[in-house]
Chain A
Amino acid sequence: MTDITGFNHITYELTRTMNCTEAQALMSAAVDGELTLKEQQIFEKHILECEPCRLEFNEAKKTKSIIREKIVRFKAPQSLVNTILKLSSSPQ
């Protein structure tokens, strides 16, 4: 990436291409909806043009959804709930 030192900055940001290393650095944030609008635009542009990054992005999204759906949530034991209710209803 060349340093453009602010010259024609806005046009550059919207038209420049991103390389795969840069795309990978944004991959998780893209999966989690944590990209800025600008990052989102250049990231989307890259994965449209780059198949390996597109596949990797889809895999990362799928991995996230597997974790979300397959990890079982335990319920806190009632005895624990009761203890905490008690401690927060007596003066400290």
Chain B
Amino acid sequence: MNDSSPVGTPMDETVPAPASGDQPLLRAERLRVVFRVGQRGLPAVNDVDLTVSPGETVGLVGESGSGKSTLARTLIRAYEPTSGRIVYDGQDITHASEGALKPVRRSMQMVFQDPYASLDARMSVRRIIAEPLLAHRVGSRREIRERVAQLLEDVGLPPDSGDRLPAQFSGGQRQRISIARALALETKLLIADEPVSALDVSIQAQIVNLLQDIQRDRGLAYLVIAHDLALIHEMCDRVAVLYLGEVVEEGPADHVVTNPQHPYTAALLAATPVPNPDHGRERIVLHGEPPSALDPPSGCNFHPRCPIARPHCAEESPPLAELPDGRRAACFYPGELTAVGRVDGRSQEHC
């Protein structure tokens, strides 16, 4: 257990965030999370800036090991950051104690990929959903019962589901149970780590629609983690693309996904198979695999796999710079590699 706990010197408690009218619900600044692996430090999250505004849906996308789950778990303070700052609802929670986090945990909830693993198999569904209410001592027994019945209805489960065990439900229904539990308290921010990746396509759409309906009715903010760019495009207002613990591109989901400026985002888009024989997408096949965060490359993290890298890219690391359309990309040559070449009449061959 010790070997995998984040290390590093906690920074000074910083000044409280200024209370302003349109401040984000959640703000991460220069967030770093370093795991200790043997004698070495593994920077799983590296200088990440991220905001989520009330009612907004922000997506996190990137390959396995890029730090998506670590970032999410740090934001809910399951991990303590090595450095940087997390401000939630006007309160600096970077190093807040468990006691100080209690009210935060009432309104910041998480849903996981695997509904099998995240639900206690021996508990009735009613008990599972009531758990956060009991833990925070909210309401009388009768009120809790009524609240659970309402939540079951909200997530589209039959009223008699409460008495049954998780094993009696399909994967999609189990995900509905975990969503109901996450909504039991006055949730303002729901962090969903790959909420539909374990589900069949026809069921995925049911859960995505459910999440969208809940958001419309309650004005929640979502931070959605997915490796499927099409899903991110469908669900999110903004998206941050992670590579080796760093944000390489960030901006409005529609711009970033359909017209990527960072070559890694372009490659991700090109690599997403679509069931459309006429899509005319550019083929970009990257060589090799993401390097280990234990042994990151020099210069730009992406340069060993980048089809447009120049010698310069191995020496200097590009800043996450703002582009004219308001998005940000960490590349010296943004927009040079596109995944939509044939659509605008250009043609490229990068293999």
Partners in one complex: no
